[in-house]
Amino acid sequence: MTAHPRFEPEPWCVRESALDLDTLAQAESIFALANGHLGLRGNFDEGEPYGVPGTYVNGLYELRPLPYAEAGYGYPESGQAIVNVTNGKLVRLLLDDEPFDVRYGQLRSHERVLDMRAGTLTRDVHWVSPAGQAARIRSVRLVSFTHRAVAGISYEVEAIDDMARVVVQSELVANEPLPMSERDPRAAAVLASPLVSEDHGCRGLAAVELVHHMAASGLRLAAAMDHTVEGPADTLVNAESEPDAGRVTVTTVLGAGQRLRIVKLLAYGWSSLRSRRALRDQVVAALTAARHSGWDGLLDEQREYLDDFWDRAGVEVEGDPEIEQAARFALFHVLQAGARAEGRAIPAKGLTGTGYDGHAFWDTEMFVLPVLIHSFPKAAADALRWRHGTLPIARERASTLGLHGAAFPWRTIAGQECSGYWPAGTAAFHVNADIADAVIRYVDATADDEFERDVGLELLVETARLWCSLGHHDGQGCFRIPGVTGPDEYSALADDNVYTNLMAQQNLLAAADAAERHGEKAGALGVEQRDVEAWRAAAGAMFVPYDDGLGVHPQSNCFTGYSLWDFEATRPDQYPLFLHFPYFDLYRKQVVKQADLVLAMHVRGDAFTDEQKARNFAYYEPLTVRDSSLSAATQAVMAAETGHLELAYHYLRETSLVDLHDLHDNTGNGLHLAALAGGWSALVAGFGGFRAGKGALAFAPRLPTPLRRLAFHLQYRDRCVRVVVTPGEASYVLRSGDPIEVTHHGEPLVVSTKEPVTRPIPRLAPLPRLGQPPGRGVARRHLTGDE
């Protein structure tokens, strides 16, 4: 955790004004550029020094064996792991034969700026070589939103004082060495050199292509680069290639004040089917299209794409510039992760690092998609189409497990279960209801009937079938789901997890409703009337445990009878707990890693009374250690709903700044996409009090003391809703679309494009301050009037 924020708060940029070699990896994740298909970590152009070098194409994976000390039926035998593919970011510079390296010579200035409106990463360097030769270097990097396969780098070097001999080597490098990972050395060995060369060659003097395949998965990858060079007349350009490397060398002599500029275009493609030749042609074609747009054209298209996005998804925050920056940073990276994924997953780290092996989990559906659904719904639909495309694998997995319908994996790249610890993997069946939840939200937000019929219905039906085989009606007729793991990873294999049961209930009802709306298609999927009746019966009889003595919902049946974790005896250096205590003990005590029952209260708020929400929130707050980054956002939302506004504000900061402040000390492995997305939810669902469902939009806005104004835009059924909240009032207006009824703190209003409708915000009675577990108190920013 860095003591002081490294990145100054600016509304639309993330700026690093000085270089810190100790936190390179964090900056590489922060400055990662991606479009959902191709991702480049913010490594230096010259390749070294680095924290973690990284270039990723979404969906490409290598297989690694999953070993077990004691194997068991149904355990996955191999896992999929994201691959650091051919690095095309490399542009090395020699100045009078001395390599440009920030560790040598004098770095007069070094600034990097991520511009979230331009969609570029800009670097400005003023460097003096050990021999005293001074140069300015400016590089601008983008991963194109409009050209899915393409990235580009504009690299400019200027001699300052003297004439300088300059050599620029622009490279493609496969199998670059990676820093040692802490994990099982066998796994690291497999992934150390995953790329097997198939083909390589140059086209002309400035273009190179490399084709590889993965040794175990067999997937094929092509990478290509092409260059445009502007420099003095005698500038020489030459290309060469070998199996694992391509190089275009530009040689010239610059007079003082003279510049050399190279525009490097990159294209990547991969396939499990297409031939070496076809794939090589594909990347060459992508480069040709990009050249046609030209560098300036790429920049213009990029800005236009982002202007449109910010127009639809804008967030404005007054009173905490860090939060405004962080909210936009979150939206920008969510967009980067999902914009052009198109049939591939949105991994937990996006395409910013290799954390979690590049796997996608349930948090995509529960944290990331809610943001996309109301800001860039097309990408949310694509993410769900990816799930739909993996239905055959999920059906087979259900069958392997002796279940009906589809069982989606706990973690995966291509759809196969890659979890090597089933009590916290396979047993966490809620992922299926989470996917259903995203379908329900998306269809509600878009009224996309075609999507529901062609994609959503089957997802709902297959997951409903799963729940019917996972649960049973007990002797009293209640529908029970024993032995599953809910969101809280410090509990496992518990009976009747409230979150799981309520989400399954919603899943079952939505499947029944959708099947009735699309009778013909449902019939084609084998749905019969008795199935629909069984789903409704299970949902209607769903058991939700309640502790009458304490007046709270146990997270799972019996949970509130367990002994409390001994927080007093737990030292600060023993967090996260799972690195210092056995699962055995965590599972049998009242200690919560991440919001579970509290998440149920957010996403199934209809199943709780206000009093229950208040009591439950107060009960779980001192039990929740937030060893997962997936907790603070949900706590922010429910703290706001239950009136703990200042606490919600602190949680908003915790989730929003998770990466900019490196709060979990692992941003270097990639960004915490769900936590960032949760920052948006903390603002919009928390302080905006936004809830949607069944065609209705509700708001219950209320700001915490530090915030003076919050404005946000929401996409909803071909409308763009703009909400502006101040401490005293809220106003609603449509920026586009037909009038719609919403509620403001329960009061119905009709909102249109004509003029904003403004309502006062009801006052709130002060509440006693809630505590977190000893040693795990939320970081409280100093406030003038603290809660």
Residues annotated as catalytic are: 489
SS3 label, residue 271: strand
- CA dist., res. 547 & res. 559, Å (int): 9
The region of 189-197, 482-490, 499-507, 752-760 touching its own copies under the rule CB under 8 A is 482-490
- Write out the binding residues for its own copies, residues 587-606 only, by CB under 8 A: 587-588
d(CA 31, CA 12): 14
Q: Give me the least distance between CB of 82 and its own copies, in Å please.
A: 17
Closer residue to its own copies, CB minimum distance, 46 or 363 = 363
Q: Which of 583, 605, 705, 717 binds its own copies (CB under 8 A)?
A: 583
Q: How far apart are CA 413 and CA 424, in angstroms?
A: 18
- The single residue listed with the structure tokens 């709903």 is 641
Query: Which residues in 544-563 contact its own copies (CB under 8 A)?
Result: 549, 557-558, 561-563
What is the closest distance, in whole angstroms, from the C-beta atom of residue 531 to its own copies in the complex? 19
DSSP string, 450-480: HHIIIIIHHHHHHHHHHHHHH-EE-TTS-EE
User: Does residue 740 contact residue 722 with C-beta atoms inside 8 Å?
Assistant: no
Distance of closest approach, residue 649 Cβ to its own copies, in angstroms: 34
Torsion sign (Cα): 425, 430, 433, 435: negative
The residue range among 124-132, 263-271, 474-482, 499-507 that interacts with its own copies, by the rule CB under 8 A, is 474-482
Q: Smallest distance, Å, CB 47 to its own copies?
A: 32
* Residue 72 touches its own copies, criterion: CB under 8 A: yes
Q: How far is the CB of 402 from its own copies (least distance, A)?
A: 5
One of 12, 305, 421, 546 touching its own copies (CB under 8 A)? 421
Q: Which is nearer to its own copies, 460 or 481 (CB)?
A: 481
Q: Which residue has the tokens 């050199």?
A: 193
Determine which residue in the list 307, 474, 516, 747 makes contact with its own copies, applying CB under 8 A: 474
Choosing from 454, 581, 666, 727, the residue that interacts with its own copies (CB under 8 A) is: 581
Query: Is residue 74 close enough to count as binding its own copies by CB under 8 A?
Result: yes
Q: Which is nearer to its own copies, 425 or 706 (CB)?
A: 425
- For its own copies, the binding residue among 492, 509, 512, 742 (CB under 8 A) is 492
Q: How many CA atoms lie within 13 A of 643 on its CB side?
A: 16
- For residue 641, count other CB atoms closer than 10 A to its CB: 22
To the nearest whole angstrom, how small is the minimum distance from the Cβ of residue 418 to its own copies?
9
Residue with the two structure tokens 């395949």: 213
Q: Return d(Cα 372, Cα 36) in angstroms, integer.
A: 13
Q: Two tokens at 123?
A: 């670097």
CB of 397 to its own copies, least distance (A): 10
Q: Which residues contact 551 (CB under 8 A, 6 or more apart)?
A: 615
In b/e form, how buried is each residue of 393-406, taking b as 16+ CB within 10 angstroms?
A: bbbebbeebebbbb
Q: Does 401 bind its own copies (CB under 8 A)?
A: yes
Q: How far, in Å, CA of 631 to CA of 628, rounded?
A: 6
Q: Which of 99, 319, 343, 423 binds its own copies (CB under 8 A)?
A: 423
Any alpha helices (H) in 447-561, and if so which ranges? 449-451, 457-470, 498-517, 519-524, 529-540
By CB under 8 A, the residues from 179 to 198 that bind its own copies are: 184, 186
Q: Specify the stretch interacting with its own copies by CB under 8 A; choose among 489-497, 628-636, 725-733, 769-777.
A: 489-497
**Number of residues located near its own copies, criterion CB under 8 A:** 51
Q: Would you count residue 71 as binding its own copies (CB under 8 A)? A: yes
CA neighbours closer than 13 Å in the CB half-sphere of residue 636: 31
Instruction: Return the residue of 102, 253, 391, 493 that touches its own copies, per CB under 8 A.
Output: 493
Residues at the site binding its own copies, with contacts judged by CB under 8 A: 66-76, 79, 184, 186, 400-403, 419-423, 426-427, 472, 474-475, 480, 482-484, 492-493, 495, 549, 557-558, 561-563, 578-585, 587-588
